[in-house]
């Protein structure tokens, strides 16, 4: 016997997000709904909210939103190949990451940096803050 929501072509949002492998466990899907990390058609979703074909589901995970359009209702967990067919991923590509120059690490026990090393470190930090690396910006003493 099917549940009433499955007969109407709907499933619980926590069950559907777990079934299409957005979450590893059903309880983590429920916890995400409770925390407000799941939205259906722009509204915050409770875990028992029904999801139908054509609904937009936003899932916040790992610091960014995944935007999914429901194309098929499943209530039991399916394989990865089938799960991909159950939604259309409308997530925009992530913005490009900025390259950050790493501060060179000193060997442990190497002591304090020499004067030359300290100047190099100061120069590197100044360029990261966007400051000029020389004194050309100072006014002349006329």
- Distance, in Å, from the CA atom of 142 to the CA atom of 140, rounded to the nearest integer, reads 6
Record the tokens describing residue 108, joined without a space.
């442990």
CB of 44 closer than 8 Å to CB of 98: no
128 pLDDT tier (thresholds 50, 70, 90): confident
97 pLDDT tier (thresholds 50, 70, 90): confident
Whether pTM > 0.75 for this model: the answer is no
Task: Report the candidate in 25, 71, 32, 24 with the shortest Cα–Cα distance to residue 49.
Answer: 32
pLDDT in tens, 76-89: 999 999 999 999 99
What is each CA distance from 26 to 15, 39, 42, 59, 88, in whole angstroms?
6, 16, 22, 14, 21
């Amino acid at each position: 016997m099917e549940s009433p929501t499955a007969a109407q072509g709907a499933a619980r949002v926590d069950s559907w997000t777990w079934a299409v492998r957005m979450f590893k466990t059903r309880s983590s899907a429920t916890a995400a709904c409770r925390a407000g990390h799941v939205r259906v058609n722009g509204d915050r979703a409770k875990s028992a909210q029904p999801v139908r074909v054509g609904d937009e589901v936003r899932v916040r995970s790992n610091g960014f939103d995944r935007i999914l359009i429901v194309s098929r209702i499943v209530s039991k967990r399916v394989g990865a190949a089938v799960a991909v067919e159950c939604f259309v991923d409308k997530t925009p590509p992530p913005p490009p990451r900025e390259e950050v120059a790493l501060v060179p690490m000193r060997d442990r026990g190497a002591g304090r940096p020499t004067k030359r090393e300290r100047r190099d470190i100061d120069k590197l930090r100044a360029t990261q803050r966007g400051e000029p690396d020389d004194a050309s910006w100072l006014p002349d003493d006329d």
